[in-house]
Structures are given as C-alpha cells and as structure tokens.
Amino acid sequence: MLANIGVPGMILILVLALIVFGPSKLPEAGRALGKGLREFKEGMRDVVKEQEDDR
C-alpha cells in the first residue's frame, strides 16, 4: 500500500500532518508513531514465532 504513494503523496501527507499537529508537536507525533509501529512489528514477530513453534 505505501509503495504506491509516491513522492507527491508523501509531500501531501507531510503537509497535512504539519497542519494537523503543528510544527511543535510534529516530532512528538513522529516518535509516537514510530514507537507504535515498532511495538506492532515485535508483536507480529512473537505471533509468527509462536505459530512456528506449535508446528
């Protein structure tokens, strides 16, 4: 899904994020998003590992 966005789409997303969060909150929002994605990936790895262990 993200591979189909392209450069203009990414610029639009960044501009919208800047408008919604403002310049002072944008770094904090980015950190929170990164942390959430990292935790999601770790959780998915655990699920996959558990399924492989059950086999």
Domain count of the chain?
A: 1
Q: What is the pLDDT of residues 3-50, one digit of tens each?
A: 677 888 888 988 998 898 888 888 888 899 899 999 999 999 999 998
Dist. CA 45–CA 30, nearest whole Å: 23
Range of the domain at 45: 2-54
Neighbouring C-beta atoms of residue 34, cutoff 10 Å: 10
Q: Which of 19, 17, 22, 15 is nearest to 33 (CA)?
A: 17
Contact yes or no for 41/48 (Cβ under 8 A): no
pLDDT recorded at residue 3: 65
Question: How long is the chain?
Answer: 55
Dist. CA 46–CA 40, nearest whole Å: 10
Given a cut of 60, whether residue 1 has pLDDT beyond it is no
